[in-house]
Chain A
Amino acid sequence: MNPEKVVFGFFIVLALTLNFGFFVGELDNPQHHNVWELFAVVVVNLVATVLKFGDRTQIGAILLSTSLVAMLQLIAAVLVWAVAVHVTKVGLTPAITASIVSLTGGAMIANVISVVLLVVETFVLRR
């Protein structure tokens, strides 16, 4: 067992699960989507991205690019949240909530691809 692989897999899967946790619920209902969960998703995704740095293989490059896509989506979601709550003070209206959640939905797809690639790589290498 390679401890590096354990940590690597842990963060990649955790990024997906947290992302899913934030995403589920009614799309435009702020009660179903906690901002702390979004915070956790961003942090775990950041860690996952950094862990993917420096892998020179082809699959490593695609893993890194999926993470970068996820980060882009999540940062967009965080910006929407910060602007809505703190800058314009309109609060989490259904429309704003929907756009935040749908942005994280996009990030989730990138995270799903990431996990799929991880599983594929594991299968290919173990055979």
Chain B
Amino acid sequence: MDTIIFIILRRMRAPLLLLIGTYTVTIAGLALIPGEDAAGHPTPPMSLFHAFYVLSYTATTIGFGEIPSAFSDAQRLWVTFTIYASVVAWIYSIGTVIALLQDRAFQRAILEGRFAKRIRRIVTPFHLVCGYGETGQALVRALTDRHQSAVVIDYDEARINQLKLESHREYVPALLADARLPSNLVTAGLTNPRCTGVVALTDVNQTNLKIAISAKLLRPGLKVICRADAHDVEANMASFGTDHVYDPFDSFALYLATALNAPCLVLLYAWLSGMEGEPLCDPIYPPASGLWILCGYGRFGKALYRHLKSQGVDILVVEADPGLTGMPPEGGVLGRGTEAETLEQAGIDRAVGLVAGTGDDANNLSILMTAKQVNPGLFLVARQNRRDNQALFEAVGAHIVMHPSSIIAERIRVLLATPLLAEFETYARYRDHEWACELTSRIAALVEDRVPEVWEVTVDSEHAPAVWAAASQGAPVTLATLMRDPRERERTLPAIALMRVHKSERTLLPEGRVTLRQGDRVLFCGAPAARSGMQWTLNNDHALSYVHSGECRHPGALWAWGSRVFGRWRRGHP
């Protein structure tokens, strides 16, 4: 705001000086030139006060007719000059003000001032999202749908305007600025203590790198998540402590590879990171053995080829422009894959699955439709590049539609909201398929076809005062105790402890006899009622003592005294 006032003052200096000068000269002239009365005798000149009065209505072109007395010709001559000089000065001054108001730099300054004020006033924790492209949009949507705040910074005016038109559940402040400049990041709230994470999602690696460096230097403890398309940039980002670097193509390929290898694991992730209260999605079982046709060998195709090959999947690449992209060592079929001929050449009649993975949505759709005609039994995987084409991909009937931006956004959302869940997913990847299937059936039994709630419990004085106090008094609570229903301790809350973090040690699916120490963190999933029930045990000493030992303690001193007296009396009079 102060900047705006200074801009106005600075710009108004010249017009104001001109106005003062014009007024001074003309008032002085009016107050020096003698007048004359009706008989033609000279009268003394008008006073400074009258001169100022005459000028005030002349200069502002009000044209007020009242004058102190009729003018002499000399006065009329001077007033003529006065009119032209002062009107020009006024028009110049007003023109400057209007030009200033229309000035883009000035409007930007006003908007930025307003934005900065809004950021300073934010009271809830928020995430700073740099870049509002496909991924940024998906991430902001995912965050706001779960009542988390985000602040967006992007240099593209069209995207910022689009954000303003979209309706989000939470208000999303947006700054139109270049995120490469640290000052813009600070304006957007990087140094605000409420800022809990920075996500760099622009499509330029160097910009993401710059954002990550700025964030790490200006707020060393802050969580920084970056998108990177090239491995050297990824290594560079990791070198100075960027918390998470995501390669959209690699993450996407890993996802499909996991789906082939361990469908239950993919299902588990989908359930745990889904929108609470939505119906559970069904498992998908892609054929793990047999020939897969991969159309497109670009950055995505290469990542997918690498991941599938490492799992021993038989795979054949179809690529239209091998000169640009290269070909895998054992060769592939030349062609786009949109014609039946190319697909037949690739052996579509004996293939079990097909991935339409080019960077062009129209081509991908065409490949899918052709493949379906030639071999209706194929398992189809589609890569969707643009969100606008959602309806088309839904209609084409692919078994898996992958939108890389959404996958990345979802992963980042999980990382920001429930960091333990992201860790859990990483560790779960090393477990086998049966383990995941067993866990999914346990969860399904727990939550009755609705996406379970996922929450973290940290044993500290702020989040779990009752359990923390018990642990500090040397009577630590076991996990089984915590999972008892505080209303009826014989019952168990409908929840599963997914992971326990004790110091640097992580245990997946910890057993009930595990004790909770100070500083431990536990990840739970289960029905919403289980979460609220557990909050009682965590926070309330009496609820904790009830689930622990079944003993109902008396809340007040009077009742405690009464019960002691009554107990003594009962012991005395059996």
How far, in angstroms, from A53 to B5 measured CA to CA in the complex?
10
B482-502 contacts to A (CB < 8 Å): none
Q: Are B49 and A53 in contact (CB under 8 A)?
A: no
Q: Are A54 and B17 in contact (CB under 8 A)?
A: no
Q: Are B48 and A36 in contact (CB under 8 A)?
A: yes
How far, in angstroms, from A51 to B16 measured CA to CA in the complex?
9
How far, in angstroms, from A85 to B47 measured CA to CA in the complex?
10
Q: Does B28 contact A (CB under 8 A)?
A: yes
Chain A, interface residues (CB within 8 Å), range: 10 to 19
Known interface pairs A39-B28, A46-B20, A50-B20. Does A86 touch B47 (Cβ–Cβ under 8 Å)? yes
Q: Does A35 contact B (CB under 8 A)?
A: yes
Q: Are B12 and A53 in contact (CB under 8 A)?
A: yes
Q: Does A82 contact B (CB under 8 A)?
A: yes
Contacting residues, chain B, for A51 (C-beta < 8 A): 13, 17
Q: Are B13 and A47 in contact (CB under 8 A)?
A: no
Q: Are B49 and A85 in contact (CB under 8 A)?
A: yes
Q: Are B9 and A39 in contact (CB under 8 A)?
A: no
Interface residues of A: mostly helix, strand, loop or mixed? helix
Which of B13, B24, B50 is the one whose CB lies under 8 Å from A43? Answer: B24
Q: Does A126 contact B (CB under 8 A)?
A: no
Q: Are A50 and B17 in contact (CB under 8 A)?
A: yes
Q: Does B27 contact A (CB under 8 A)?
A: yes
How far, in angstroms, from A51 to B12 measured CA to CA in the complex?
10
Q: Are B20 and A47 in contact (CB under 8 A)?
A: yes
How far, in angstroms, from A73 to B12 measured CA to CA in the complex?
23
A25-75 contacts to B (CB < 8 Å): 35-36, 39, 43, 46-47, 50-51, 53-54, 56
Which of A43, A50, A54, A82 is the one whose CB lies under 8 Å from B49? Answer: A82
Known interface pairs A39-B48, A47-B20, A82-B49. Does A53 touch B9 (Cβ–Cβ under 8 Å)? yes
Closest B residue by C-beta to A60: B6
Which of A35, A36, A39, A54 is the one whose CB lies under 8 Å from B10? Answer: A54
Q: Are B20 and A53 in contact (CB under 8 A)?
A: no
Q: Are B17 and A47 in contact (CB under 8 A)?
A: yes
Q: Are A53 and B10 in contact (CB under 8 A)?
A: yes
Q: Are A50 and B13 in contact (CB under 8 A)?
A: yes
Closest A residue by C-beta to B24: A43
Q: How far is the CB of A58 from chain B (nearest CB, A)?
A: 13
Contacting residues, chain A, for B21 (C-beta < 8 A): 47
Q: Are B27 and A39 in contact (CB under 8 A)?
A: yes
Which of B9, B20, B28, B31 is the one whose CB lies under 8 Å from A54? Answer: B9
How far, in angstroms, from A47 to B25 measured CA to CA in the complex?
13
A72-100 contacts to B (CB < 8 Å): 81-82, 85-86
Contacting residues, chain A, for B13 (C-beta < 8 A): 50-51, 53-54
How far, in angstroms, from A83 to B2 measured CA to CA in the complex?
38
How far, in angstroms, from A81 to B48 measured CA to CA in the complex?
10
Contacting residues, chain A, for B17 (C-beta < 8 A): 47, 50-51
Contacting residues, chain B, for A46 (C-beta < 8 A): 20
For this complex, 11 residue pairs linking A to B, each with C-beta atoms less than 8 Å apart, are: A39-B31, A50-B20, A51-B13, A53-B9, A53-B16, A54-B10, A56-B6, A81-B49, A85-B49, A86-B47, A86-B49
Shortest 3 CB-CB distances between A and B: which pairs?
Answer: A54-B10, A53-B9, A54-B9
